[in-house]
Amino acid sequence: MDGQVFASMERWYTPPLNTKSPTQTPKHTANSDFDSPMYSSFFGAMGIAFAIIFTTFGAAYGTAKSSIAIFSCGVLRPERLMQNTLCSIMAQILSIYGLVSAVIMSNGIREKMPAHTGFLQLGAGMAVGLCGLAAGFAIGIIGDAGVRASNQQPRLYVGMVLILIFAEVLGLYGVIVSILMITKSTLDVTECRY
């Protein structure tokens, strides 16, 4: 009985280092169960889901909110309909940002991967997803007000486009940070010491 208990504890117990030899360290590889917990791939998958879900929500809101104004104003000025669709197009670009990040992250998902990689993929997905969601809200509100205003005063169209570009850049910031985090998730992965 005591031998079985000791054998089961041996897997979780790391003996202390030998004090006579300070260079001796426990032998763990980056692919061992010690450094690759079973939940790390779950966090990577959640990062992929956050990236695509939140950017798609932002794109859907931006498209819907600005399209209401586009079609409302298109009744009175149908010649400006194609010009005003820029708001919806810019909102749809946000979902492409999430798709790119999700595809890059999905190439790094494995059954056994370091926890460091899973956590960074979760952070990367949240970065691009929430930035895309915020940019989608901004594009929808700016597009709604801008289309209605430029329909009455066409000189306001250039100002609306500039403000839309600034709102779109919010999503681009998330993509840049996400790609940086994704590339760092597989570089310099070291052993995890508890």
Looking at the domain assignment, is residue 10 inside a domain?
no
Please state the rounded mean pLDDT for residues 3-12. Answer: 54
Q: Give the per-residue pLDDT at 124.
A: 96
Better-scored residue on pLDDT, 180 or 31: 180
In a domain, 48, yes or no: yes
114, with CB counted inside 10 A (0-12, 13-18, 19+), is buried
Closest by CA position to 136, among listed 190, 49, 60, 46: 60
The residue-averaged pLDDT of 171-193 equals 83
Domain count, the chain: 1
Residue 6 within any structural domain of the chain: no
Which residues have CB under 8 Å from 3's CB, separation 6+?
A: none
Tens-place pLDDT, residues 90-132: 999 999 999 999 999 999 888 888 888 889 999 999 999 999 9
Read off the pLDDT of each residue in 67-79 and give the average, rounded to a whole number.
91
The pLDDT assigned to 112 comes to 82
What CATH number did the domain enclosing 89 receive? 1.20.120.610
CB 46 within 8 A of CB 117: no
Per DSSP, helices labelled H in 11-109 are 40-76, 81-84, 86-106
The rounded mean pLDDT for the chain is 84
- CB neighbourhood size of 33 (10 A): 10
- Domain extent at residue 118: 40-184
Contact 35, 115 (CB under 8 A): yes
Q: Determine, yes or no, domain membership for 26.
A: no
- Identify whether 18 is part of a domain: no
Q: Report if residue 144 sits inside a domain.
A: yes
Q: What is the per-residue pLDDT for 187? A: 76
pLDDT at 45: 94
- Average pLDDT of the segment spanning 9-15: 54
pTM, to two decimals = 0.77
Q: What is the mean pLDDT of residues 171-188?
A: 90
Quote the tokens at residue 194: 């508890």
Is 136 within 8 Å of 62 (Cβ atoms)? yes
